[in-house]
Structure formats: C-alpha cells, structure tokens
Structure 1
C-alpha cells in the first residue's frame, strides 16, 4: 500500500531519484514477477477452459447477446471465416445498435498454452479484461482463462503450500 512505500522510504532515510508513484508501480511489478517465477510450472494449458463458446464475426448482435446470456459468460470470442480469433464482444460492446459483431468487437488478450498462468494477472486485473483467449500459432482458439479460473488456480496453489487446518474440538 502507499503507506508501506512511505514507511520503507522513511526507514531507509534515503533520497531516490524516483517518484513515490513510480516506485509503487515498480514494487507491484516486482511482486507480480515474483509470483510468476514462483508458480512458473502452472501453465495456461493447465487451467484453461477447453469448451470455448465463440461466434463468427458475421453473427448478429442479437445472436451474440443470446450466447452471452444463455451461457452466463462475460466474454465471447469472435472468429473470422477461417476460424481464427478476430476479437471479442461482451454485453457492453453489444449495447449500441449493430448488425453484426464485426462492427463492435474489441481486441482481446491472448496467450499461448505454455505461457505461465500467473503472467495473466496483469491483464485480468486491469479493470477491463475478463478473460484471456488461449490460441495456437495460427490464432485458432484452444481455450479461455477467466478471472475466476486464475483466482481459483491461485487459491489452490496457496492452500497446497499451507499445512492442513486442524479440527478444533
């Protein structure tokens, strides 16, 4: 937290040629990199959902909206005529009147199956992205990782490192 940065700077009794905000961003990045390094063996392919629902880019906005609502999902990958990832839509993108999803789709984060899963933290906590699409070298969809998938994987890793709780009588 910002007060932790202030306390650390005061304890060092040093002046640095870096602003507190920049230092805070640096420390957050250090924490993220440490988490990725410590959990490098957990790969995207280990936690991705493989049954990915997508729509073609010529699908109507109503068809895409129905898929999102019927499957209770927030991100719907959009594929081109060659079944390659073209973008994604969510309900927010589908709010304006549009005939097809091609006109309203947005860019979507992607990763390879062998990418360390924890490296997706920055994308999935940016306040905008709800999922990362896992693709092969030809941009064909192999899977999808949501914020919930990554959080569940992190929780499993955390509890695997801790001793089991003892029952209290």
Structure 2
C-alpha cells in the first residue's frame, strides 16, 4: 500500500498521523481481503478547508468531520472483483502498477472536538475516522440502518483488533 499524507494545516497530535493512518488503512484492507496493492491519499485540513471541499463536491456548504472519495465503483461492498473488469484500466497507476483506491479528507478540528464530546482520545477519534473512510473506499455506506450496523461492526472490530478502544 502506498499511503500519502498531506497535512495542509500542520496539525499535530500525540501520535504520528501518517503511521496511525497507514496502520488503520492496512488493517481495513487486510480485514476486507483486498487483493490489490493500492494507493490512498489522506489530507488533513480544518473547518474551512473541508467546508470548501464539501461544498464543491457534495454541494453542502458546511464543515464535516471526514470526507471519502472512492475511485472504485462497487456492485457489492468489499467485492473487489469489479476492479478486474473495465475499471482496472482507469484505476491502474501506470508508474507503480498500483490501484488508485481513493482519497480521505479529515478535519483536525472535528478530531479534537469529537474526541472531547465522546470522551475518548484524539488517537481513537482519528483512527475511527480513517477506518470509517476506508470502509467507504471499500464500497460500504451507512444510509440505511442495516448498512450502518454493518459499518459500525466492522469499524469496532478493526479498532478493537488494533487495540484502539475508547478510553
């Protein structure tokens, strides 16, 4: 996995952003049994930065905690066989041979405020947002109650496996 981090706002925590992001992303890929070497981009921004992106791509003029931009169009969540078809040409980075999997944008302000609100560490909140976003990159959603339950279970399983639990 190639994991690129752009920290637009020079955010810092008591953990290494790139190391934790990479660890959580890899755990999701392993759990989902993704058979490809993938490239993932993580951008760290603030309220204004994510508001602009949210407005541009979703026509929602407000900040949020995390945005996910999957490159793969799934028939079923976690079914990576769709990559072998027509999508592979569009997703393949010719320089690396890796699949361009998608982009994650995390709002540093929400990491901090939600950690306080939910009574756990910033590390746990950040890891949760990466896991949540990675599941979106794997085709999962939470628009319906059953979908949300599946995502929540997977997120909790991954964070528990990594030992990143609520404090």
| TM norm. shorter chain > 0.5 | no
Give the alignment's TM-score, normalised by structure 2.
0.25
TM-score (norm 1): 0.25
